[in-house]
Structure 1
């Protein structure tokens, strides 16, 4: 329970202290938007790394060299835990916005930081608004801002992936940006598997080889979500064999 209290305290303090920081970042952005963006990215990454350290978990990262450093990408991963966001965001080499549920807009301060970090808020109950969100993601990619999405649409309760939603892959199919499949194993063992306690776990986060949509067959291009999910499942299966 101590670990949970410490992480919750860090989150609350960060959001409170972040009020003047957001104002300072806003001023910096008037003169140098790039400096503001990178500053915000690194501060949040530092906080996430501290929270992960507090969990006491042994985190193994594999294949991070597969992430291109000179262009925006679409990260696509399986989703079992809230900690998946901390695990992956702390490793982003450059600006990256996450696709989150529209309900997050109701959380004061957190939503402000998320907006500052180019996060997108997806309302799955409104097709028109959902399309606008995807279009915004496409514009971000064109501006050099990567996007990360968990295409299952929700966290998997039993560790087995839910079929990916194909609509989310339009960000890649319309821009031609590389898709980076991410396979995350055991992240739910940090917290969700034994709520409310946070316990150390061995977590594996593997970045697969980039998938270039235009290099795939027409059939695979049509079902990019299924193709990416298959690649992720292959990595997850390999993790089980090595465990």
Structure 2
């Protein structure tokens, strides 16, 4: 929490401008492309990384397909995971996030300005609608991010269970799945210190539809989890 306060202080004189840009994009979404709206947030969050006393190493970014839709499936260690994705990835992408984030208005406005989707795992009908929308956009060429654990792990680099349903949209759209290993990212905002944090994000090789087409969603979830665990064991 102390690092978050530190970041806010370092952005103090820019906060009114940032709020204005977010609200302008939200109000004028029809006139501003989604790529431009996402790029605005990317620039803000990349500044945040540089001002947060964080050494974030990015590996395997060349593994991301250069075109077409694909599903990015990282392990979830905390809010910094999303920042790390923006720091690493240059092309537009969207994220499925848990509805609890909407309790913070400026966060909800920022997410809405980029057409990101909130999922309510307690509401089956709403969850199915979100998965269908993600499938549609994956097939149309938009990369999406879903955290298969559904919530952040509170055990550092240890993973929670990966939920098979997180992979349904990719399987239905027949697009590649890209496992992503976040390592020590929990230390950025979950440790009460301002000491420099060294963390990593690894983009693993995509799993093509041809490779996973004979798996069910639970088998694919287990396979992706094992790949990420192996990467964490090698590099943590």
**The two structures share one fold, judged by TM-score above 0.5:** yes
Residue 141 of structure 1 contacts residue 147 of structure 1 at CA under 8 Å; is this kept in 2?
Answer: yes
After superposition, the C-alpha distances for 1:125-183 in whole angstroms (9 at most, x for unaligned) are 11111111111111111222111011111111112100101101001110111111110
| Corresponding residue number in structure 1 for 2:212 | 216
2:27 matched to 1:28? no
CA distance 1:100–1:115, shift in 2 (3 Å): same
Residue 15 of structure 1 contacts residue 110 of structure 1 at CA under 8 Å; is this kept in 2?
Answer: no
Q: CA RMSD in A?
A: 2.2
| Corresponding residue number in structure 2 for 1:228 | 224
CA distance 1:201–1:135, shift in 2 (3 Å): same
CA distance 1:203–1:92, shift in 2 (3 Å): same
Of stretches 208-217 and 14-23 in structure 1, the one that deviates more from structure 2 is 14-23
Question: Per-residue deviation at 1:230?
Answer: 1.0
CA distance 1:5–1:106, shift in 2 (3 Å): closer
CA distance 1:230–1:73, shift in 2 (3 Å): same
Question: Per-residue deviation at 1:70?
Answer: 1.1
Counterpart among 162, 179, 182 of residue 181 in structure 1: 179
Aligned length: 232
2:20 matched to 1:5? no
Of stretches 1-10 and 145-154 in structure 1, the one that deviates more from structure 2 is 1-10
Residue 26 of structure 2 contacts residue 113 of structure 2 at CA under 8 Å; is this kept in 1?
Answer: no
Normalising by structure 1, we get a TM-score of: 0.86
Question: Per-residue deviation at 1:62?
Answer: 0.6
Q: How does 1:50-199 map to 2 (within 5 A)?
A: 50-159=47-156, 160-192=158-190, 194-195=191-192, 197-199=193-195
Question: Per-residue deviation at 1:57?
Answer: 1.4
Normalising by structure 2, we get a TM-score of: 0.89
